[in-house]
Amino acid sequence: MEDFATLTYNGQKITLPVVIGTEGERAIDISNLRAETGFITLDPGYANTGSCLSAITYMDGEKGVLRYRGIPVEQLAEKSTFKETAYLLINGRLPNREELTRFSVMLNDNSLVHEDLKTFYQNFPRASHPMGILSSMVNALRSFYPALTTLNLREEITITMTRLLAKIRTMAAMSYKISRGHKVVYPRSDLTYCENFLNMMFDNPVRPYQINREAVNALRVFWILHADHEQNCSTTAVRVVSSARVNLYAAISSGIAALWGPLHGGANQAVIEMLTAIQADGGSHKKAIERAKDKNDPFRLMGFGHRVYKTYDPRAKIMKKMCDELLESLQINDPLLDIAKELEEVVQKDPYFIDHNLYPNVDFYSGIVLRAIGIPTSMFTVMFAIGRLPGWIAQWKESVDDPKWKICRPRQVYTGAQAYDFVPIHARV
């Protein structure tokens, strides 16, 4: 097979190397293009741009495939724990018993947050969005936990990553408790990662939280399904920001900010808001569908469509099944689930959605799952952020370990005014 591509322009011919991935994806390496031809490439939204070589996550958007470090996400969702999946993503392989124990001990030892952080929470206006708070608080962690100059870089990285994984769920639960004016619940060493989070969210002195197996399992699957998704918007934000050699807390904080957007992680909240609006409108989804198809209306059907998946999102398949099972086992009858299913059925037969390859994405059913386990809508995207943290860390670590790691600095095609002279204020019209 040819291992180069030829580009011809105005009689000039240059060859560009072709890079082939382990699953056969092909890329034209243009890293010398400008030096050799003076040209740059133009790709708004980077839809055709490979920004890195990566060995973490594989997805095939046409076939609906998603694997972490080679393992199908379906198998992880069925058999793995979130902690183990996080280890897999970050370290490249599943931990053995001893490694998992060491990892668990480190997470437990780092799960408390500095007491002074509480005062920060108390000073955010009550109506603040939890994603804005989380992004700020994660950034603030650097001030509380400055670089440890006594450690070498590897050890420093390990402790920083562990701190983040351990503290993020404490911080998320803390923000919820403080927003309700309730006493903060501390993590417990006898609980698992998922149990601990639910306990910190829902335990209170007058109604102690009873660990609910179904809720714990749903949270485990939810977090595993969100753990990584290769070079999506927030992960790219983490990679770009960290390429300036900023600390990991600041880089993760930027990922959280990107995830907040309704076209990305914020869609899980937006889906519930959309379904609720349909419910308030008497249950008819006709208006929403018509609006989504109208080119003059910016409205989109939330939870549908994906940059890479042009078929059913494999995560959405698992989420939908889990949603049914969870609601049944908890004996919850959520009318939004009926509306969601009806909407999906109608959309599946609509030529607009068929022609545009618009299928449910992971966010479509995830909000109903989160509602069932008692998570308030405003916290949905925070739940996504906790799940995505191992992926952000793994992607960050991969870029740090890359000997060719460079500052990310795209170019542009300038379309503004050509040079003209400064006009003094009295002479301006």
Check binding of 361 to ligand ACO (CB under 6 A).
yes
- Give yes or no for residue 367 binding ligand ACO (CB under 6 A): no
Using the CB atoms, write b or e for 63-82: b if 16+ within 10 Å. ebbbbbbebebbebbeebbb
Residue 274 main-chain phi, psi, to 5 deg: -65, -45
Q: Is 363 in the site for ligand ACO (CB under 6 A)?
A: yes
> 18: part of which helix (H) or strand (E)?
strand 12-20
Q: Is 198 in the site for ligand ACO (CB under 6 A)?
A: no
Judged by beta carbon, residue 162 or residue 232, the one nearer ligand ACO is: 232
Give the contacts of 60 (CB within 8 A, at least 6 positions apart): 23
Nearer of residues 179 and 232 to ligand ACO, judged by Cβ: 232
- Contact between 310 and ligand ACO by CB under 6 A: the answer reads no
Tokens representing residue 337 in the block:
């689930």
Please state, as a whole number, how many other Cβ atoms lie within 10 Å of the Cβ of residue 46: 13
- Cβ closest to ligand ACO, residue 141 vs residue 172: 172
The structure tokens listed for 160 are 């920083």
What are the CB-based long-range contacts (under 8 Å, 24+) for 210-218?
Answer: 212/330, 212/373, 214/326, 214/329, 214/330, 215/326, 215/330, 215/372, 215/373, 215/374, 216/192, 218/322, 218/326, 218/369, 218/372, 218/373
Q: Which stretch binds ligand ACO (CB under 6 A): 61-69, 190-198, 296-304, 369-377?
A: 296-304
**Minimum CB–partner distance for residue 303 and ligand ACO (Å):** 5
Please count the helices (runs of H) and the strands (runs of E) in the chain.
18, 6
- Alpha-carbon span 241 to 408, nearest angstrom: 8
Whether 231 and 52 have beta carbons less than 8 Å apart is answered as yes
**318 lies in the binding site for ligand ACO (CB under 6 A):** no
Q: Shortest distance, CB of residue 242 to ligand ACO, whole angstroms?
A: 20
Instruction: Please report whether residue 302 would count as binding ligand ACO according to CB under 6 A.
Output: yes
Least distance to ligand ACO, CB of residue 321, Å:
18
- For helices 380-401 and 153-179, what crossing angle results, to 10°? 170
Residues annotated catalytic, as ranges: 306, 363
| Cβ(137)–Cβ(171) below 8 Å | yes
Q: Which is nearer to ligand ACO, 141 or 347 (CB)?
A: 347
Binding piece for ligand ACO, criterion CB under 6 A, among 73-81, 205-213, 248-256, 258-266: 258-266
Closest to ligand ACO by CB, 300 or 317: 300
Tell me 94's DSSP state.
-
Q: Does 356 bind ligand ACO (CB under 6 A)?
A: yes
Binding mask 35-54 for ligand ACO (x = CB under 6 A): ----------x---------
CA distance 124 to 130: 10
Size of the site for ligand ACO (CB under 6 A): 19
142 binds ligand ACO (CB under 6 A): no
CB of 144 to ligand ACO, least distance (A): 30
Q: Rule CB under 6 A: is residue 278 a binding residue for ligand ACO?
A: no
Alpha helices in 124-203 (DSSP H): 130-144, 153-179, 193-202
Closer to ligand ACO by CB, 14 or 308: give it.
Answer: 308
Contact between 305 and ligand ACO per CB under 6 A: yes
* Under rule CB under 6 A, residue 267 binds ligand ACO: yes
Q: Out of 227, 301, 369, 393, which residue is the one contacting ligand ACO (CB under 6 A)?
A: 301
Contact 392, 250 (CB under 8 A): no
Q: Which is nearer to ligand ACO, 85 or 111 (CB)?
A: 85
Which residues contribute to the site for ligand ACO (CB under 6 A)? 45, 263-265, 267, 292, 300-307, 356, 358, 361-363
